[in-house]
Amino acid sequence: MLKIENLHVRVAGKDILKGLSLEVRAGEVHAIMGPNGAGKSTLGNVLAGREGYEVTEGSVTFEGKDLLALEPEERAVTGVFLAFQYPVEIPGVNNTYFLRAALNAQRKARGESELDSMQFLKKVREKLAVLHLKDDLLQRAVNEGFSGGEKKRNEIFQLALLEPRLAILDETDSGLDIDALKNVAEGVNALRSAERAFLVVTHYQRLLDYIKPDVVHVLADGRIVETGGPELALQLEEHGYAWIRERIAPEA
């Protein structure tokens, strides 16, 4: 589904990703771990097509298409969802209204019919049920005054509505409490399917106690330096990132 080959990315004149390669198949959940500043969020941003991230070498193919040639909106239409690409806060804009507009924009771009408010409400109820969520966030303004945990819960709900093929979640090290982590994990688990892949960027092993990844990668110094199964996350938790550094650059 997603194939990244030898990706080099420069941000503000500095080389951040330096030859990153990664392959994700439909149905898989991949975790990307790594020390602070390794380039994890840069990877998410470049896949979403954010401005300011210059690809100097390498390629990214999504379902056979050159993802890097697409505009950010086109990437969303082809089914790539990046949790944090959505606006942080939109005061005064009702969340339900916003979600419907986002969904209908995507449907329109795909040549599908737009949903009227009754059809949309039906979909909302269906997704709330799948995720075991309350509707308490829907009548509020988009993200306004949301706690960190509520923002994450809302992102998972956006994900459920937009039904992407590839969902990229960046946990952003943002001090989520255990309930918020569980919410994210339960949402991801409920939305796992044979057609959908997840790229879960996380600093903490904790999240992976709840989301069982198929593959774990360690990103350090702009490259994937280690790939393994769920046990790799546990080894990291036990030994820290210094352990990886020693393995990739043993002392002479």
Q: Which residue, 142 or 236, has its beta carbon nearer to ligand ADP?
A: 236
Contacted by 39, from Mg ion, ligand ADP, none: CB < 5 to 8 Å by type: ligand ADP
Residue linked to tokens 């046990």:
231
Site residues for ligand ADP per CB under 6 A: 11-12, 16, 34, 36-42, 52
Whole-number minimum distance, CB 142 to ligand ADP, in Å?
24
Residues 6+ apart with CB under 8 A from 37: none
Which one, of 171, 129, 168, lies nearest residue 148 by Cα?
171
Contacted by 11, from Mg ion, ligand ADP, none: CB < 5 to 8 Å by type: ligand ADP
Q: Does 113 bind Mg ion (CB under 5 A)?
A: no
- In one-letter notation, the amino acid at residue 44 is G
Bridge partners of 239, per DSSP, are none
Of residues 41-70, which lie at the interface with Mg ion (CB under 5 A)?
41
Q: Which residue, 241 or 243, has its beta carbon nearer to ligand ADP?
A: 241
Q: Which residue, 16 or 160, has its beta carbon nearer to ligand ADP?
A: 16
Whole-number minimum distance, CB 158 to ligand ADP, in Å?
21
Q: Which residue, 147 or 174, has its beta carbon nearer to Mg ion?
A: 174
Q: Which residue, 42 or 158, has its beta carbon nearer to ligand ADP?
A: 42
Whole-number minimum distance, CB 214 to Mg ion, in Å?
22
Q: Does 175 bind Mg ion (CB under 5 A)?
A: no
Whole-number minimum distance, CB 224 to ligand ADP, in Å?
12
Q: Which residue, 161 or 233, has its beta carbon nearer to Mg ion?
A: 233
CB 203 within 8 A of CB 236: no
Residue linked to tokens 């209204």:
97
| Binding segment (CB under 5 A) for Mg ion, from list 21-29, 38-46, 50-58, 135-143 | 38-46
Please give the residue ranges that form the binding site for Mg ion (CB under 5 A): 36, 40-41
